[in-house]
Amino acid sequence: MSNATLQFVNDLYVKANGQDLPAQQLTLIDSLTVEQNLYLPDVCTVVFRDIGLGHREGAPLQFGLTDANVLPIGADIQVFMGRG
């Protein structure tokens, strides 16, 4: 059994359908997991902290990332990580 050590990444860049996610949206990423498998397609899970902003009584709650459809289902996603 090997002892795996956690390494924290300094730089993270995400592209959706060839377009860079703005820095403001990158700061809302809570976690990002990439799973690679030899026999299955690769999987990328991105979890955002998409909090409702500008809520007024009687008005619908607005979720910026969800309402803007930043990462639509089936989007081409590229993840770049490294130390910079």
pLDDT in tens, 40-83: 988 888 888 877 666 667 776 677 777 777 788 888 889 988 76
The DSSP bridge partners found for residue 35 are 43
- Token output for 67: 């309402």
- What are the residue boundaries of the structural domains of the chain, listed by start? 11-82
Task: Let me know: does 10 contact 26? Beta carbons within 8 Å.
Answer: no
pLDDT in tens, 11-44: 888 998 899 988 888 888 888 888 988 999 888 8
